[in-house]
Structure formats: C-alpha cells, structure tokens
Amino acid sequence: MTNYILNIIIIKKYFTKILKAFTYGGIYLNGEVIIKKQTRAKKKGLKLVLIALVSLLILLTAIVLAGYLFIKKGLPTIDGELTVSGLENQVTVYRDENGVPHIEAQTERDLYIAQGYVTAQDRLFQMDLSRRQASGELSEVIGASTVDKDKFFRALGLRRAAEASYGIYSVEAQEVLNWYAEGVNAYINEAIESNSLPIEFTLAGYKPREWTAIDSLTIGKYMAYDLGGHWEGQAFRHHMAFVVPEDKLLELFPVYPEDGATVIQALKENPMDLTKSFATLDVPDEFNGSNNWVVSGDKTESGFPYLANDPHLSLATPSIWYEVHLNSPEVNVNGVIFAGIPGIILGRNEKIAWGVTNVGPDVQDLYIEKRNPENENEFLYMDKWEQATVIDEQIKVKDEETIPYKVTITRHGPIISEFAHDNRSDTALALKWTALSPSTELEAVLRFNKASNWEEFKDALTYFHTPAQNFVFADKEGNIAYRANGHIPIRKKGDSSVPVPGWTDEYEWEGFIPWEELPTVINPKEGFIATANNKIVTDDYPYHITHTWAQPYRQQRIMDVLSGNEKLSVEDMKKLQFDQYNLQAEEFVPILVGMLKEDNLREVDKNALKLLSEWDFNDNKDLGAPLIFHLWMAEIGDVIFESKVPKELNGLFEGRAQIVDEMIRKADKGEESLWIQDAGGIDKVISSAYKRTIDKITEIQGNTITKWSWGEYHAVPFNHPLSAIKPLNYLFNFAKPVPMGGSRVTVAAAGWSSTTGLVNHGGAWRTVVDLANLSKSYNVVGPGQSGHVLSNWYNDQIGPWTTGGYHTTYTESYENQKYKLLLVPGK
C-alpha cells in the first residue's frame, strides 16, 4: 500500500507536466514539454477539460489517501509502550522480521493476557468470524445468506459442547482461558475507544462483543468438526441406497458393511430426501489431513532426531495458523495455535518437539430416528416413545427480524437432517459424535507445552479426546515416538458405513478403545516414524478405527525417502516437505495410456499424450502433463458417476478418489465394475474422459500444447473471507493467485477447487526441527502472520510457501529485534 501511495505521487508529478503542456498548447514527449501554437478557443477548452481532470485526480487521490489513513489506524502498535489492563507486571513483546511475536512475561497470568492481547492485535476479525461460524451467529453480522449455515451449527451444538466442557477443566486451565480472554478484551476495548478496529468491522458494520473462555473452546470444537470425519459419507450412501441397485451401491462402500443386508433394508424402509438439506451445506474438505514424521539420530547428520510436520487444512488470508513464542519462568515454547485459543498446539519447547496428523477415525454415527406421528418431539426407542430435548434458539439476522429456531436432541444427539427446512416427517437423522461430549483438549495442549520427556507428553495425551490425532514426538535424549490418540468408539454392531436404526439398542456405543491399547510406537528399529492419514494398524488390530483411509501415495513417498541409507540432513527434510513426485501418476499413467485406442484419437489428443509419455511424474507447476493427468482422473470419475450422482451431493461423496482408483486397478486386471459396465466399458470410459479433458484444457489454455501449464490452472489465491464481495477483492486480495506445484497426492499437498482449479487446501504451516538445537526451528506460515492488509506481514510468506522456503524462528538471542513493545499494567 505504501508503494501504491508513492505511485500516486509520481503520477501526479508527471500529470502536472502534461497539464502544463496542454495548457500552453503543447505536448509532453520523452519527458519534455514541447510548445505548439493553438487557437485561444482551443486553449480555453483544453484548460477547462484539464481543470476538471486535475480536480478529479485530486479528489481520487484524497479518497485513496483518506482510505489509506483510515485503514492504517487499525495497524497494531508493535513498538514503544502500551498500557494493558489486567497485567500485574511489565511484559515485553519482541517481533522478529517475520512478524512472529516473542512474548516475555514474569508470570503465567501476564503471559496469557499478553498472548490474548497480541493475537487480537493481529487477528481480531478472524477470531470473531471463527467464533461466530462455530456458534451459528454469522447471520447477525452478514445477513440472511448465512441463515442455513447458522441453523446447522446451532443444531450441531459446538457451543453447547464447549459450555459443557468448561466445567471439567482444571482450575489452572480455566484461569488460562480467562486470562487469555482478558487480554483479548483489553485490545477490543482499546480499539473501540480509539476507533482503530480492523477495517473489516467497519465494512461489515458491527463491533465485536466481549471475548469469553467459551469462545476459545468453541473454536477448538470447530477444529474437531473440520477433522471429525465420515458422517457425510454415511449420508451419501443413505441417499444412494434409493438410487441404485444394491450390488452397485456396495461398490461405493470402502468395505462391505457389517450386517449389510439388514442395515440397507432399514435404510430403504426409512427414506429421506437429503438433497433438501445436506447439499446446501459447506462440509469439511475430505482431504483435511497432514504429514508428519520423526527420524532417529542414527539416520541424521546432526546425530539427534528430526521432526517435521505440515498440517493440511483450508488455505486463506489470514492463515488458519498463528505462530508465537511464549516465555515465562514456567514455560518456554514456540509453534502455532489457532487464533483465539491460548497456548501452542504444535511446536517445541526446550526439551521436546511434537506434531500431528489426522487419524480420521469413525467417531460420528448417523442414527435413523422414528418420530411419533402424534408428537414431533418424541422418538421410538426399545418400543417406547422417548421425549427429546428441545432447545429454543434465536437466530439474529442483520437488517431483518430474529428467526426462532428449535433444536431437537434425541438420546443419540442432535437432529441434523432438517436444519434447512421445516417439513416434519416420520423419520430423521440424529448425529452421535465424540466432540459433542465434554472434552479437555486445551488441558492437553497446556501440558504439552511444559512436558520434558515422552512419559510427561504421553500423560498429557490422556486429556486429548477429540479429534483423534496421530502424534509424533522427539526429545533431546534421542527418543522418537508415535501415538494415535483420542476417543474412538467401540460399537455393539456396525462399522459406521451407513446410518443405522436408532429405535433399537443394537447399534449403540459400548465405550471407547482403551487408552492403553491405542496404537503406539517408541524408538522403532527402522529409525523413523511417518504418518500421512494412511492406514495405521494391521488387519489383526482388535478394534475398528475406520475403513476410509487416505490414498497411500503421500505416505509411501515419505517412507521411500526416509528409508534410504544416506544420512539425512535438515535440508533433506525441507525438500521432502515440498516434494512433488506423484506416485499415483506413476501407477496409473501407463494403465490409462495403454487403454486408449490410437485410431480414435484426434491430433491434439495424440500431441497431449506425448506430453504424458515424456513426463517424469513430478507435479511441476510449469509442466502441462500434470494438468492432463489430474483433470483426466477427475473426468473418469465424472463419466462413471454423473448419471446417478447429483452434482449437489458430490461434496458428500466420501472416498470417491479411492473408489475410482480401485475400479481402474480392477479393470486393468479384467474385472470391470458394474458402474464402468453401465458407462459403456472401461475403454469407452477412459477414452471419453480423455477427450473431455483435452477439450477442457484447450478451452482454458488454448491450442498450443507446449504452453499448457499446471500452475496456470493450479494457483493459490489465499482468499480473504471478504474478498468474495466485489470490489473488496481488490483490497484484500490485491496479489494475483500464485502458480503452485504439487497436488492432493504429493507430499507437498495442494488441493484445489474442481470448478476453478484454484488451490484452497494444503499445509499452511510447515515446520522442521533438529533436536540438536531446540532454540530454533525452520518454519513457514502461508500467507503470513498478520490479518491487517497494510501490515508488512500480511502476505510476505506467499513466496516462500509456494517455493519451499522457510524462515528461522529463534527462542534465544532475539532481544535485538527491530520491534520491541512494552505492555505495562493499567487499571
């Protein structure tokens, strides 16, 4: 924005010269004013026109300048001294060249008050939007367009679950939550009084309300929703039970369900039209997951363990992650946290480092509930009508009347099938989910931050219930460890493949996998541990976790690299996190190409095929081959399913990619799927999908095949939530989308929209830690630390993020940073 203002000044300077030329009847050429003779009338006319133009330029300049100065008021104070109410002692906040705050406090109370204050300085609008979305309160500030979304989250009850959780936290953890809220509120009050709230609040026309401990816990519950898993797939298969014969339906299951015939019969006897509700919902990205690994010192150049982690979630501005360093006599920890929550959830302290990926277990079950036709609030259970709990919710809507809304909760959980309409039927779907019960994840986080060895870290894991995560761990003593941790249900019957009858006790939960029997590995002989949302147990593991694991390609690539005999370096770890080798393409390109009939191909098809044949299987942004391959795989699925799967339900089609992969594998062995047969056979499916792919690419990138580029299609915009409102996109997303390599199946994860191609999913946080020196780590947060559009740290990490770069964050010797802010006690 500073450069923008300078450009206006330069334009004004040259405009003045042009004005002089025209005023005196001349022209402006090569930086010089050349005078030419003109009639007096022409001169007068030119003067009037130019006076109007100058006036307009001055007005526009004044408007831009006024807007700039108004937006600038929202920039946080990061140098000097500020008074913060609630503090008992002075707190020092250093900001390094990447905008990472290093908070030094004399007590934990002051530390967390300062963390709340500083995070609000950088991310207040994001924090407010996050708590509103999770609480079902967006419509109050956005309007009627988000009412359905609010109804769903009111029905789901993340905020109710947060309120129920608060009471089971320790007094110490409750204090941390309240201290953090105190710091957030100190900033809110200061910003309101000084009229310096972030510009988003002015544009949206509201001011943030007071922050509470429940707000922080509600955001935590939303993260569990983002990673919770699998109710969408159950709903999808329920819908398809009424669309296709049973033999075709079963091909859409990850495995044949236990008691499949009985359950499918129950589905068909209790029909519901899910297209009226679930199809309108923004469901979590199926590819939400992560990579992490730890390597023993026996395999590293430093002789100490390495730890690497890159969690894969939505990509946006600002980042979902906020990096911070917290330092007091009780704790010294650096890493990231979700804006709005105290502590560090992923990171390192002076003795250990840890990271996570999503286990993705079946922790959500949909129950088909039979409603009493004479009383809509009663549901059948064991031959008796049970009264449901009914909660009256009031949904405030901007510029409109408040909408009364009733949430119905059965013994299994909230009814979620009717959130979008008021029609009452004899059946409904209730969601049972671990995260809707009280849980204590923040308790675990605060204990991670202080743990000094595996036993202490493992003990902290007893407090981490949902979402279930794959934790990797390393310490200075040379230990590496892994644990799949969280509440994972044990069912009397069924495997969470489809909705199950709720009127009987046959499908109830009987508890959770015993904590002592959760998958755990310590110092394996291989010298490394890696997870990438892959299958983490062998077939003889006695408990059901899930049938829906991620495609195996990221995990296999990590294993291939780490299992080499060479000593690994930190640079190798960075390179691996940005690795774009596509094992899926290595497997399927030969199969797909072999199925194409040359005599049926057009010239453009043959030339494109040549690109594939010469491809080294790296999803390089500059190559055309990745573009062909990924769009081809997507089109194959479309050709197979488009006649029977409504487009509006594609977001619920869990495991589609794995299903298509397996259908192609079997077809290559001569075992054609019923779906493929109905689509005309494998040759027709492959050929039709290929031609459609080439036509699509030609339409968006032209006929010159040598100019086709994966990155031109597959670019990352890091969209701000208000950029969807034009012309605000020019303010909040002034940088063009940046071409990006990688894909959903490469270690450098970069998922994209199937409609636009824009990258919207990946590891916004990447970190590498060498346990030889825990005073530093190598990190990147895309797009940057700050949520303020004028901040130097708003999008300064897009370049490193899209090219595999890192910055170094130190937890020692950072006192000479350029920015030093003293927070002093106030009233």
SS3 letters for 635-659? Answer: HHHHHHHCCCCCHHHHHHCCCHHHH
Give all strands (DSSP E) within 413-558, no chain letters. 427-433, 469-475, 480-485, 489-491, 500-501, 509-512, 520-522, 528-531
Q: Report the range of poorest mean pLDDT among 186-190, 250-254, 602-606.
A: 250-254
Residue with the bigger pLDDT between 298 and 46: it is 298
pLDDT for 9 equals 39
pLDDT for 24 equals 44
In three-state secondary structure terms, 291 is strand
Q: Pick from 220, 226, 128: which is nearest to 169 by CA?
A: 220
What is the value of pTM for the model shown?
0.91
pLDDT for 637 equals 96
- Residue 99: which residues within 8 A CB-CB, separation 6 or more? 122, 784, 785, 786, 791, 792, 793, 796
- Residue 302: which residues within 8 A CB-CB, separation 6 or more? 570, 770, 771, 772
CB 304 within 8 A of CB 297: yes
For 778-796, the pLDDT digits (tens) are 999 999 999 999 999 999 9
Q: What is the CA radius of gyration of the chain?
A: 29
Whether domain 73-582+618-623+709-827 has CATH 3.60.20.10? yes
Q: Pick from 347, 491, 369, 513: which is nearest to 429 by CA?
A: 369
Distance, CA of 674 to CA of 643 (rounded, Å):
13
Strands across the sheet containing 469-475: 80-85, 819-826, 91-95, 101-104, 321-328, 331-338, 346-348, 352-358, 469-475, 480-485, 520-522
- Average pLDDT for residues 710-735, to the nearest whole number? 92
Q: How many CB atoms lie within 10 A of CB 482?
A: 21
Q: Which amino acid is at 466?
A: T
pLDDT for 5 equals 39
Token representation of residue 532:
């990438």
Q: 113 burial class (0-12, 13-18, 19+ CB within 10 angstroms)?
A: buried
Helices (H), 430-495: 441-450, 454-461
Helix (H) or strand (E) holding 187: helix 171-193
Strands 759-762 and 306-314: antiparallel
Task: Say what angle helices 171-193 and 108-135 make with each other, to 10 degrees.
Answer: 80
Percentage of the chain lying above the pLDDT 90 cut: 75
Q: Which amino acid is at 554?
A: R
CB 711 within 8 A of CB 752: no
For 534-582, the pLDDT digits (tens) are 999 999 999 999 988 889 999 999 999 999 888 999 999 999 999 999 9
Quick check: 421 pLDDT over 50?
A: no
pLDDT for 262 equals 73
pLDDT for 273 equals 66
Q: Report the range of poorest mean pLDDT among 120-124, 247-251, 451-455, 743-747.
A: 247-251
pLDDT for 15 equals 43
Q: How confident is the model at residue 29 (pLDDT cuts 50, 70, 90)?
A: very low
Quick check: 288 pLDDT over 90?
A: no
- Residue 641: which residues within 8 A CB-CB, separation 6 or more? 653, 656, 675
For 687-703, the pLDDT digits (tens) are 999 999 999 999 999 99
- Residue 455: which residues within 8 A CB-CB, separation 6 or more? none
* Residue 626 preceded by cis peptide, ω within 30: no
For 177-224, the pLDDT digits (tens) are 999 999 999 999 999 999 999 999 999 999 999 999 999 999 999 999
Quick check: 66 pLDDT over 80?
A: no
- Residue 734: which residues within 8 A CB-CB, separation 6 or more? none
Residue with the bigger pLDDT between 264 and 797: it is 797
Quick check: 37 pLDDT over 70?
A: no
SS3 letters for 94-108? Answer: EECCCCCEEEECCCH
pLDDT for 201 equals 96
Q: 71 burial class (0-12, 13-18, 19+ CB within 10 angstroms)?
A: middle
- In the predicted model, what is the mean pLDDT of the chain? 90
In three-state secondary structure terms, 467 is coil
pLDDT for 12 equals 43
pLDDT for 135 equals 98
Cα angle 372, 376, 382 (rounded to 5 degrees) comes to 35
pLDDT for 726 equals 83
Quick check: 2 pLDDT over 50?
A: no
- Residue 510: which residues within 8 A CB-CB, separation 6 or more? 490, 491, 492
Q: How far is CA 378 from CA 154, 267, 372, 389, in A?
A: 20, 20, 5, 9
Percentage of the chain lying above the pLDDT 70 cut: 89
Quick check: 31 pLDDT over 80?
A: no
Quick check: 290 pLDDT over 70?
A: yes
Please provide the distance, in angstroms rounded to a whole number, between the alpha carbons at the two ends of the chain. 36
Distance, CA of 822 to CA of 824 (rounded, Å):
6
Q: How far is CA 443 from CA 187, 223, 336, in A?
A: 25, 16, 16
Output phi, psi for 337, to 5 deg.
-150, 160
Torsion sign (Cα): 613, 698, 758, 640: negative
* Residue 499 preceded by cis peptide, ω within 30: no
